[in-house]
A = this chain, B = another copy of it.
Amino acid sequence: MSHNTFGHLFRVTTFGESHGVALGCVVDGCPPGIPIDAADIQAELDRRKPGQSRFTTQRREADEVRILSGVFADDRTGGVQLTTGTPIALEIANTDQRSKDYSEIRDSYRPGHADYAYDAKYGFRDYRGGGRSSARETAARVAAGAIARRVLPGEIIIQAALVQMGPHAIDRARWDWDEVARNPFFCPDATAAAFYEGYLDGIRKDGSSVGAVIEVVAEGVPPGLGAPIYGKLDADLAAAMMSINAVKGVEIGDGFASAALRGEDNADEMRSGNGGGPTFLANHAGGVLGGISTGQPIVCRFAVKPTSSILTPRMSVTRDNRDVDLVTKGRHDPCVGIRAVPVAEAMMACVLADHYLRHRGQVGKPG
């Protein structure tokens, strides 16, 4: 990962600020011949789009994606638009910018936001909506992820869900992937989702915010993806998820809970499988051993902190170092973790696509 690029063979470079002209990405290294059109990408962007329920920011953005390059259709492709193997540039114009909402914080640092850090680094900043530090950047990731999904073999299924809101975890016994599409929280537990409605309404009315935990699972991943030692699949996933706005922790499989286990309980036992590879009797490892996929589901979780854009006044300072009490007005998410769910899927897809191609490069087709 360099400043604004991640991936080695499937490389994603993103650009854009919250209130600039446009944001977008360039996806380089995509294999040729993959069918993709703007509607495919749009469908995934629409899942992340703000303003779809009262539980996300009311900023209205069409988030309409344009493909600028890297695809081609003619009668030889049957009229289907295919990737050509050259860089795919995607652009999403900013339309609902309302810069004036932010004018009052141009001189102060919002606590818990990147304002001070950007100023300390660069000497000044585009304060409109957080500029480059805005979670709006994640739209570009979702767009790239839509391509990455299509690079991967069809048997790989990537799904994410919200598994905790504030202190309230779901009951994993009630996990139902179908439920995720039925509630505004991407929650796989219908009972928890029903509870979250009232809970988050309360938070929202308080002008407050809460954190969340997101889990993303990739099923059907062949064994062998990942590369020791600094290209470990879990190390790349950790970086990918930690790079999402407001994420403060990442774990694979049992994660932090594994610290409390004994070796007998943690080691996933195996029995002979009928496909040649072993059948695992547990998945404490979350599908990754030694940084390499084992063929089990890859399970990754991350914690999202509550946004600091709240209505309760907070102590802060101005750019010229005077004390100030600050209220962050504007349109915000009471639980930014919700919209991180499609972003999590996108990042998983991008990391897997990259490792799929890297493995094919070094070793040949995995499987």
Q: Are A303 and B255 in contact (CB under 8 A)?
A: yes
Chain B nearest CB from A151 CB (Å) reads: 10
Number of copies: 4
Q: Are B121 and A85 in contact (CB under 8 A)?
A: yes
Task: Determine the chain B residues whose CB is within 8 A of the CB of A312 once the complex forms.
Answer: 263-264
Known: A26-B15, A84-B131, A86-B228. A264 touches B310 (CB 8 A): yes
Q: 25 A-B pairs, CB-CB below 8 angstroms?
A: A2-B29, A2-B231, A4-B228, A4-B231, A9-B361, A14-B87, A21-B69, A31-B362, A68-B91, A72-B126, A86-B131, A111-B270, A112-B285, A121-B223, A164-B260, A208-B263, A230-B239, A248-B285, A256-B256, A266-B306, A266-B308, A267-B310, A270-B315, A281-B315, A284-B305
**Residue of B with least CB distance to A11:** B2
Q: Are B266 and A243 in contact (CB under 8 A)?
A: no
Task: Determine the chain B residues whose CB is within 8 A of the CB of A243 once the complex forms.
Answer: 229-230, 232, 235, 291
Q: Are B306 and A261 in contact (CB under 8 A)?
A: yes
Q: Are A363 and B31 in contact (CB under 8 A)?
A: yes
Task: Determine the chain B residues whose CB is within 8 A of the CB of A303 once the complex forms.
Answer: 251, 255-259
Contact pick for A224, options B120, B228, B364, CB 8 Å: B120
Asked if A181 is at the interface (CB within 8 A of a chain B CB), the reply is no
Asked if A185 is at the interface (CB within 8 A of a chain B CB), the reply is no
Residue interface mask A270-290, B partner, CB < 8 A = 1 = 111100111001001110111
Interface of chain A residues 238 through 252 with chain B (CB within 8 A): 238-243, 245, 248-252
Asked if A52 is at the interface (CB within 8 A of a chain B CB), the reply is no
Task: Determine the chain B residues whose CB is within 8 A of the CB of A248 once the complex forms.
Answer: 234, 251-256, 258, 285-286
